[in-house]
Chains A and B, each alone.
Chain A
């Protein structure tokens, strides 16, 4: 009881200490009230959520054939389950050891479910879409750009001047080009360069372009990690007789990845949101499906509902990613040096 009273006394001191303060406080409170009232009023009474509720399968799977939609659904559910297992999973050692493997194998598993074949009805990538496609683009691109980025970072530190120069030029030029132009390059120019008869799927061209772009940034993050490893670590490894490649594999990369982890999380969340650029280039991923639903005469003009819904979806997935990354950081902090 006393606590509540002191709380109110504090509030009064803060906001109503004199006449001018009281007037300003009252005006601000009035404005806030009217804003909230309007927003909630609109959300509950005016908004027509039918544009969301009647199209849920479209948002999730795009134009995937209705009788096969259990396939992407299985994939998304398995991803969610794996996230929960990672976060809350018991401390069984074999489980912890195989988590990384499980995460990596979600990509071939998802691709099998989406493409079909081997007992499943084959479905071309033209029918992929919605949240499924967004997640697929993010997972494939980040999984491919991590090793590519590591190699680029190592090349940039190389003792061969040519290798060093080339990777520096690549990284600098990739960072000097806007992402959207790299994506245009992937979608429009790659088919022109390829010999007649060979065609790369549009989804893979997008993954390829994202990988080219993101790996340059990842390389710089990892270079920062590499540079912050003290040279005494290399001396110690040298004096144990480890060779160059063993030092890179056992000493440098594991430590650099740990140091670069927060920056890498940033990159993958950024990548997830940047996949929405593909909507402009004709892929019907999450934003793209929203635009095509809005083009339907039945739902014309209901921008606000659709975009609020999409924002919530993006927010939800990003939050899962952020929580997973924080969990990973915490686990790695246990065995980090406080040098």
Chain B
């Protein structure tokens, strides 16, 4: 089993005393799905944003796909990581001035220097996989939230990444639109994609994840398999959080 992400004692503080990440260590193996849960402000998003260098950190060491980065935030190494790691955001962050297909082919053409035709073909294949190939020529604001998020997933896949990061991918969606995005993510997991997912979707975490990591105020409280986490969490704090999620 090849480790894709190894984090060792990552610590980050925005202001003195307040730690966004406090000694976080974790490993994500090839083909595994790690779900990160926790109350808002617990550092989940900050954590996965360090994986592709959108956030820097102050201490510790991070190894993503064999590329090691530390607190110096080496731009060239981070650029290397970004070419192999896809990311999906809460607010989709599609480029509004580009068509759906152009959104997807922008990075393959300009970062990987693929030919336009080849990139278009692969882009159409990905859109087909996501079930939205009929929208290829439309613009992001003509699509519903769920469709936009599936475009964002296709865009992240266009670079043929080894690791996908999801930062609350369903939190900005209407309830009836959530499942179409979760289904697409399920299919990716079945195909063996390595994923790190920040989410509040318990059902998804139960079905798909191999490990659940629970965070609170920047610390990792517990890491368990979903069976244990959702039925018999080790930690008092995790149980309290799950109780509150259930009430909603």
Contacts and interface: CB of A to CB of B under 8 A. Distances in A.
Q: For chain A, what secondary structure do more than half of its interface residues adopt (helix, strand, loop), or is it mixed?
A: helix
Interface residues of B, number: 28
Contacts of B16: none
Interface string B74-107: 0000010011011101010111111100000011
A241 interface: yes
A201 interface: no
Contacts of B86: 239
B83 A335 contact: no
Contacts, number: 69
B93 A242 contact: no
A236 interface: yes
A251 B107 CA distance: 12
A199 interface: no
A335 B96 contact: yes
Interface in B85-142: 85-87, 89, 91, 93-99, 106-107, 110-111, 139-141
Contact of B141 (A232, A243, A258, A338): A338
A172 interface: no
Contacts of B99: 335
A253 to B, nearest CB: 10
B54 interface: yes
Main secondary structure of the interface of B (DSSP, over half): loop
A14 to B, nearest CB: 44
B96 A337 contact: yes
A236 B79 contact: no
A274 interface: no
Contacts of A339: 96
B97 A242 contact: no
B87 A239 contact: yes
B96 A235 contact: no
Kindly name the residue among B87, B89, B95, B139 whose own CB sees the greatest number of chain A CB atoms within 10 A: B95
A243 B79 contact: yes
A242 B87 contact: no
Nearest to A255: B97
B106 A250 contact: yes
A336 B96 contact: yes
Contacts of B33: none
A334 interface: yes
Contact of A242 (B54, B98, B111, B140): B111
A238 interface: yes
B162 interface: no
Contact of A235 (B89, B106, B110): B89
Given A238-B54, A240-B82, A242-B107, A232 B93 contact: yes
Nearest to B112: A241
Contacts of B53: 238
B199 interface: no
A334 B139 contact: yes
Q: B96, B110, B155 — which one has the most chain A CB atoms within 10 A of its CB?
A: B96
A246 interface: yes
Interface of A: 232-233, 235-243, 246, 250-251, 254-255, 258, 334-339
6 contacts: A236-B95, A239-B54, A241-B83, A250-B95, A336-B141, A339-B96
Interface of B: 52-54, 79, 82-83, 85-87, 89, 91, 93-99, 106-107, 110-111, 139-141, 155-156, 159
The 3 closest A-B pairs by CB, nearest first: A337-B96, A236-B93, A335-B139
